[in-house]
Amino acid sequence: MTLQNITGSMNRRNFIIASTKLTLGLSLLSPTDLFAKKSPIDSIHFYHTHTQEQFELSFTNRTCPPSIKKDLYTFLRDFRTGDTHPIDFRLMKILHKIKRETGSKGVFEVISGYRSPKTNEKLRSKSSGVAKKSFHLNGQAIDIRLTDVATSDLRDAAISLKSCGVGYYAQSDFVHIDTGRVRSW
């Protein structure tokens, strides 16, 4: 037997062992594990202007764990009454798209998230700019600023998405985003 034959048989043996290990390893995975694409983790940083609380939301395009959603509901609660409500997760996806569109690395400053009926009525009695059937009542709206983006640019980016309601309040320096029909004011 020559040295070349010994080396060749060792390579075949190693190949067979490695192939067997690979086959066994793959057999332990489900078909969805084999072909699933890993979704990138997205994150949005928030600061609530009324409670001074901070929150970092991490999620993938497909999902956000229920425990994190519950924390989000608490963070975006009606700060006047403490009432919580589920938040339409499409809002978070819109905010993420706005960050991407603007190239922002900043923090979303939250002025208002969920509003209880009691709070909404109180605000309506003081201002004609508060809708009777506000999207805030259903957890479908958020009033925000973005720390490294001019509010007018934030508005323009939101409008360019053509996927949400956008209100611009220049004097109060915030933008309203909701998951209602596409419109702007």
Alpha-carbon distance 51 to 164, whole Å?
Answer: 26
Query: Taking 60 as the threshold, does the pLDDT of residue 31 lie above it?
Result: no
Q: What is the pLDDT of residue 16?
A: 73
Residue position matching structure tokens 């973005």? 146
Mean pLDDT of the chain: 87
Domain 42-184 has CATH 3.40.50: no
For residues 44 and 96, give the distance between their C-alpha atoms in angstroms, rounded to a whole number.
7
The C-alpha atoms of residue 86 and residue 137 are separated, in whole angstroms, by: 10
Q: Check whether 13 has a pLDDT greater than 80.
A: no
pLDDT at 17: 72
Is the CB of residue 152 less than 8 Å from the CB of residue 122? Answer: no
Given a cut of 70, whether residue 56 has pLDDT beyond it is yes
Give the mean pLDDT of 84-92.
Answer: 96
Q: What is the pLDDT of residue 60?
A: 78
Domain ranges of the chain: 3-35, 42-184
The answer to whether the CB of 111 falls within 8 A of the CB of 167 is: no
CB 92 within 8 A of CB 75: no
